[in-house]
Structure 1
Amino acid sequence: MIEPGATFKDNVQLLPPVDGVARIDLIDAAGAVVGGIANQPGRQGSLAVYHYLAQQFDRLDAQAARHGLALFAEHVADAQDRPGAHPNIDRLLAIAAGGDALKIAVVVAGD
Protein backbone atom coordinates (compact mmCIF):
# COMPACT_ATOMS: atom_id res chain seq x y z
CA MET A 1 0.00 0.00 0.00
CA ILE A 2 1.31 3.44 -0.84
CA GLU A 3 2.05 6.04 1.81
CA PRO A 4 0.07 9.16 0.89
CA GLY A 5 2.00 12.40 0.59
CA ALA A 6 0.97 15.97 1.28
CA THR A 7 -0.63 16.77 -2.09
CA PHE A 8 -3.29 15.14 -4.22
CA LYS A 9 -1.24 15.74 -7.37
CA ASP A 10 1.73 13.82 -5.94
CA ASN A 11 -0.50 11.03 -4.65
CA VAL A 12 -2.22 10.52 -8.02
CA GLN A 13 1.21 10.03 -9.60
CA LEU A 14 1.73 7.02 -7.29
CA LEU A 15 -1.52 5.30 -8.27
CA PRO A 16 -1.91 2.67 -10.99
CA PRO A 17 -3.09 3.97 -14.37
CA VAL A 18 -6.80 3.87 -15.20
CA ASP A 19 -6.45 3.76 -18.99
CA GLY A 20 -8.57 0.61 -19.38
CA VAL A 21 -11.20 1.56 -16.80
CA ALA A 22 -14.53 2.80 -18.17
CA ARG A 23 -16.05 3.59 -14.78
CA ILE A 24 -16.35 2.66 -11.14
CA ASP A 25 -19.74 1.56 -9.79
CA LEU A 26 -20.46 1.79 -6.06
CA ILE A 27 -22.84 -0.89 -4.83
CA ASP A 28 -24.70 -1.06 -1.53
CA ALA A 29 -25.42 -4.16 0.57
CA ALA A 30 -28.68 -4.77 -1.31
CA GLY A 31 -26.82 -4.89 -4.64
CA ALA A 32 -28.05 -1.53 -5.93
CA VAL A 33 -25.69 0.83 -7.73
CA VAL A 34 -25.76 3.95 -5.54
CA GLY A 35 -23.02 5.96 -7.22
CA GLY A 36 -20.20 5.90 -9.66
CA ILE A 37 -17.33 7.67 -11.32
CA ALA A 38 -16.93 7.77 -15.10
CA ASN A 39 -13.55 7.91 -16.80
CA GLN A 40 -13.80 11.43 -18.15
CA PRO A 41 -11.77 14.63 -17.86
CA GLY A 42 -12.07 16.21 -14.44
CA ARG A 43 -12.90 12.87 -12.81
CA GLN A 44 -9.79 10.84 -13.52
CA GLY A 45 -8.08 11.67 -10.23
CA SER A 46 -11.09 10.44 -8.26
CA LEU A 47 -11.37 7.44 -10.56
CA ALA A 48 -7.71 6.59 -9.86
CA VAL A 49 -8.22 6.84 -6.08
CA TYR A 50 -11.31 4.62 -6.07
CA HIS A 51 -9.69 2.16 -8.50
CA TYR A 52 -6.70 1.90 -6.17
CA LEU A 53 -8.97 1.44 -3.14
CA ALA A 54 -10.73 -1.42 -4.98
CA GLN A 55 -7.34 -3.09 -5.47
CA GLN A 56 -6.26 -2.67 -1.85
CA PHE A 57 -9.46 -3.33 0.12
CA ASP A 58 -12.29 -5.89 -0.04
CA ARG A 59 -14.85 -3.12 0.27
CA LEU A 60 -15.13 0.60 0.80
CA ASP A 61 -15.43 0.59 4.59
CA ALA A 62 -14.21 3.09 7.20
CA GLN A 63 -10.58 1.94 6.93
CA ALA A 64 -10.57 2.19 3.13
CA ALA A 65 -12.35 5.56 3.29
CA ARG A 66 -9.73 6.98 5.68
CA HIS A 67 -6.95 5.86 3.33
CA GLY A 68 -8.80 7.42 0.40
CA LEU A 69 -9.15 10.69 2.31
CA ALA A 70 -5.39 10.69 2.93
CA LEU A 71 -4.88 10.34 -0.83
CA PHE A 72 -7.18 13.28 -1.57
CA ALA A 73 -4.92 15.29 0.78
CA GLU A 74 -5.53 19.05 0.64
CA HIS A 75 -8.89 18.64 -1.13
CA VAL A 76 -10.47 17.14 2.01
CA ALA A 77 -10.48 20.48 3.86
CA ASP A 78 -12.18 22.14 0.89
CA ALA A 79 -14.78 19.36 0.76
CA GLN A 80 -15.49 19.83 4.46
CA ASP A 81 -15.87 23.59 3.97
CA ARG A 82 -18.08 23.20 0.88
CA PRO A 83 -20.30 20.10 1.18
CA GLY A 84 -21.43 18.93 -2.24
CA ALA A 85 -18.50 20.48 -4.10
CA HIS A 86 -16.52 17.21 -3.99
CA PRO A 87 -19.05 14.35 -3.97
CA ASN A 88 -16.41 11.63 -4.16
CA ILE A 89 -14.70 13.01 -1.06
CA ASP A 90 -18.07 13.60 0.64
CA ARG A 91 -18.82 9.89 0.20
CA LEU A 92 -15.52 8.92 1.84
CA LEU A 93 -16.14 11.34 4.73
CA ALA A 94 -19.58 9.79 5.32
CA ILE A 95 -18.25 6.23 5.30
CA ALA A 96 -15.28 7.13 7.53
CA ALA A 97 -17.79 8.64 9.99
CA GLY A 98 -19.69 5.36 10.23
CA GLY A 99 -21.74 5.24 7.05
CA ASP A 100 -22.54 1.97 5.34
CA ALA A 101 -19.72 0.24 3.46
CA LEU A 102 -19.97 -0.13 -0.30
CA LYS A 103 -18.58 -2.55 -2.85
CA ILE A 104 -16.37 -0.97 -5.52
CA ALA A 105 -16.94 -2.54 -8.94
CA VAL A 106 -14.41 -1.67 -11.62
CA VAL A 107 -15.95 -1.69 -15.11
CA VAL A 108 -13.28 -2.06 -17.78
CA ALA A 109 -13.60 -0.44 -21.19
CA GLY A 110 -15.47 -2.63 -23.63
CA ASP A 111 -17.67 -4.32 -21.01
Structure 2
Amino acid sequence: MSFQDNLAAMPAIDHLSGLNVCDAEGNMLHHIPAAPGKLGSLKLYHALAAEFNGALNAESAARGLEWFAEHVADARRHPGKHPNIDLLLQVQNENLDYHLHPLPA
Protein backbone atom coordinates (compact mmCIF):
# COMPACT_ATOMS: atom_id res chain seq x y z
CA MET A 1 0.00 0.00 0.00
CA SER A 2 1.07 3.56 -0.61
CA PHE A 3 1.75 6.18 2.05
CA GLN A 4 -1.55 7.89 1.23
CA ASP A 5 -3.45 4.58 1.47
CA ASN A 6 -1.86 3.90 4.84
CA LEU A 7 -2.73 7.39 6.12
CA ALA A 8 -6.36 6.93 5.12
CA ALA A 9 -6.64 3.97 7.52
CA MET A 10 -5.15 5.82 10.52
CA PRO A 11 -6.95 7.63 13.34
CA ALA A 12 -7.70 11.34 13.01
CA ILE A 13 -5.26 13.89 14.44
CA ASP A 14 -7.46 17.01 14.54
CA HIS A 15 -7.27 16.92 18.35
CA LEU A 16 -3.45 17.25 18.36
CA SER A 17 -1.11 20.24 18.30
CA GLY A 18 1.87 17.98 17.63
CA LEU A 19 3.87 15.06 18.98
CA ASN A 20 7.14 14.87 20.91
CA VAL A 21 9.67 12.06 20.75
CA CYS A 22 11.41 11.81 24.12
CA ASP A 23 14.21 9.78 25.65
CA ALA A 24 13.84 7.73 28.85
CA GLU A 25 14.53 10.82 30.98
CA GLY A 26 11.73 12.74 29.26
CA ASN A 27 14.00 15.02 27.23
CA MET A 28 12.41 16.03 23.93
CA LEU A 29 14.60 14.85 21.05
CA HIS A 30 12.27 15.50 18.12
CA HIS A 31 9.03 17.40 17.57
CA ILE A 32 6.44 16.99 14.83
CA PRO A 33 4.04 19.95 14.71
CA ALA A 34 0.47 19.94 13.45
CA ALA A 35 1.50 22.12 10.52
CA PRO A 36 1.16 21.97 6.74
CA GLY A 37 3.70 19.58 5.28
CA LYS A 38 3.98 17.66 8.56
CA LEU A 39 0.44 16.33 9.02
CA GLY A 40 1.13 12.99 7.32
CA SER A 41 4.09 12.35 9.60
CA LEU A 42 2.11 13.47 12.64
CA LYS A 43 -0.72 11.11 11.72
CA LEU A 44 1.70 8.22 11.21
CA TYR A 45 3.60 8.81 14.46
CA HIS A 46 0.29 9.19 16.34
CA ALA A 47 -0.82 5.83 14.94
CA LEU A 48 2.48 4.31 16.08
CA ALA A 49 1.93 5.75 19.57
CA ALA A 50 -1.53 4.17 19.67
CA GLU A 51 -0.45 0.77 18.35
CA PHE A 52 2.72 0.47 20.44
CA ASN A 53 1.53 2.14 23.66
CA GLY A 54 3.80 5.14 23.13
CA ALA A 55 6.96 3.10 22.51
CA LEU A 56 9.32 3.99 19.69
CA ASN A 57 11.77 1.12 19.36
CA ALA A 58 13.11 -1.12 16.61
CA GLU A 59 9.76 -2.92 16.27
CA SER A 60 7.57 0.17 16.06
CA ALA A 61 10.12 1.92 13.82
CA ALA A 62 9.91 -1.01 11.39
CA ARG A 63 6.12 -0.59 11.28
CA GLY A 64 6.51 3.14 10.70
CA LEU A 65 8.88 2.51 7.81
CA GLU A 66 6.34 0.11 6.28
CA TRP A 67 3.70 2.83 6.54
CA PHE A 68 5.94 5.53 5.01
CA ALA A 69 6.06 3.12 2.03
CA GLU A 70 7.47 4.69 -1.14
CA HIS A 71 9.07 7.61 0.73
CA VAL A 72 11.60 5.37 2.52
CA ALA A 73 13.67 4.74 -0.61
CA ASP A 74 13.94 8.49 -1.22
CA ALA A 75 14.92 9.06 2.42
CA ARG A 76 17.67 6.45 2.14
CA ARG A 77 19.00 8.12 -1.04
CA HIS A 78 18.82 11.63 0.44
CA PRO A 79 19.60 11.65 4.18
CA GLY A 80 18.20 14.77 5.83
CA LYS A 81 15.41 15.27 3.29
CA HIS A 82 12.88 13.31 5.37
CA PRO A 83 13.80 13.82 9.05
CA ASN A 84 10.81 11.87 10.36
CA ILE A 85 11.84 8.83 8.32
CA ASP A 86 15.51 9.38 9.21
CA LEU A 87 14.54 9.14 12.88
CA LEU A 88 12.80 5.79 12.34
CA LEU A 89 15.82 4.47 10.45
CA GLN A 90 18.11 5.60 13.27
CA VAL A 91 15.92 4.00 15.94
CA GLN A 92 15.84 0.74 14.00
CA ASN A 93 19.55 0.70 13.09
CA GLU A 94 20.77 1.65 16.58
CA ASN A 95 18.09 -0.29 18.51
CA LEU A 96 17.04 2.85 20.41
CA ASP A 97 14.15 3.14 22.86
CA TYR A 98 12.18 6.38 22.88
CA HIS A 99 8.69 7.45 23.91
CA LEU A 100 6.01 9.09 21.75
CA HIS A 101 3.94 11.82 23.41
CA PRO A 102 1.00 13.17 21.39
CA LEU A 103 0.23 16.76 22.41
CA PRO A 104 -3.43 17.79 22.75
CA ALA A 105 -4.55 20.88 20.84
1:38: how far off? 0.3
- Residue in structure 2 matching 1:15, options 6, 10, 14: 10
Q: How many residues align?
A: 104
Secondary structure of the residue aligned to 1:17 is coil
2:31 pairs, out of 23, 28, 36, with 36
Q: Can you give the 5+ residue segments of structure 2 that lack an aligned partner in the other structure?
A: none
Runs of 4+ in 1 over 3 A off after TM superposition: none
Residues 39-58 of structure 1 mapped to structure 2, 5 A cutoff: 39-58=34-53
Q: Please, what TM-score do these two structures have when normalized by structure 1?
A: 0.91
Q: Is 1:75 the equivalent of 2:75?
A: no
Partner of 1:25: 20
Deviation at 1:31, TM superposition (A): 1.5
Gaps of 5+ in 1: none
Amino acid aligned to 2:6: N
Higher mean alpha-carbon deviation, 76-85 vs 27-36, is at 27-36
Output the CA distance in 2 between the equivalents of 1:50 and 1:101: 15
Structure-to-structure mapping, 1:67-106, within 5 angstroms: 67-106=63-102
Q: Letter of the aligned partner of 2:94 in structure 1?
A: G
The secondary structure found in structure 1 opposite 2:14 is: coil
**Which one of 61, 79, 91 corresponds to residue 57 of structure 2?**
61
Q: TM-score, normalised by structure 2?
A: 0.96
Aligned counterparts of 1:8 and 1:32: Cα–Cα separation in 2: 29
Secondary structure class of the residue paired with 2:56: coil
Task: Give the Å deviation of 1:98.
Answer: 2.3
How much identity, in percent, do the aligned residues show?
40
